[in-house]
């Protein structure tokens, strides 16, 4: 059995005052070639903390600035690359929008836009990201 390795990323569920979440369509496609609707996320640079990485990735991929509210949790999954099994952990944070424009994203993203949070919780490509938006909704609106 090939050896496995691990990767870590951090991302954000950014919510604005209208209850919308910032979502992106990365230029990189899914394994089957389809477009992906995702939350902004990426690897920390150097000694960057997970929170700092999430805030930077939100700025780069979604074009917006945000501030930390709280950690939502981790998403864990596996994928294959070059015959190796990769264990991936992504730490997600609930972030509050503070400024910027979604059309000011970097070249790794085709489209960044705001989407109603309940819609994002249904339509994001990956189940772990849908779960993180659901957690954000329950933290923002307890009892719903």
Assigned CATH for 4-140: 3.90.79.10
* 14's tokens: 């950014």
- pLDDT for 41-56, tens place per residue? 999 999 999 999 999 9
* 62's tokens: 């979604």
- pLDDT for 5-28, tens place per residue? 999 999 999 999 999 999 999 998
Domain residue ranges in the chain:
4-140
- pLDDT for 114-131, tens place per residue? 999 999 999 999 999 999
Name the pLDDT band for 29 (thresholds 50, 70, 90).
confident
Q: How many CB atoms lie within 10 A of CB 132?
A: 29
Residues 6+ apart with CB under 8 A from 96: 14, 15, 66, 67, 69
* 123's tokens: 């339509």
Q: Distance between CA atoms of 91 and 12, rounded to whole angstroms?
A: 8
Q: What stretches of the chain adopt beta strand conformation (E)?
A: 4-15, 20-26, 41-42, 64-81, 84-100, 109-116
What percent of the chain has pLDDT above 90? 81
Predicted TM-score of the model (pTM): 0.92
Name the pLDDT band for 1 (thresholds 50, 70, 90).
very low
């Amino acid at each position: 059995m090939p050896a496995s390795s691990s990767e870590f990323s951090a991302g954000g569920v950014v919510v604005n005052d209208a209850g919308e979440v910032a979502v992106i369509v990365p230029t990189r496609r899914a394994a089957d070639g389809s477009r992906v609707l995702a939350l902004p996320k990426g690897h920390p640079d150097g000694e960057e903390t997970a929170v700092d990485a999430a805030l930077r990735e939100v700025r780069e991929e979604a074009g917006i600035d945000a501030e930390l509210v709280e950690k939502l949790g981790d998403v864990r999954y596996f994928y294959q690359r070059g015959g190796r099994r990769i264990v991936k952990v992504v730490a997600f944070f609930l972030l509050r929008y503070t400024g910027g424009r979604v059309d000011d994203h970097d070249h790794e993203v085709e489209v960044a836009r705001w989407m109603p949070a309940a819609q994002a919780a249904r339509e994001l490509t990956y189940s772990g990201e849908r779960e993180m938006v659901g957690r954000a909704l329950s933290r923002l609106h307890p009892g719903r």
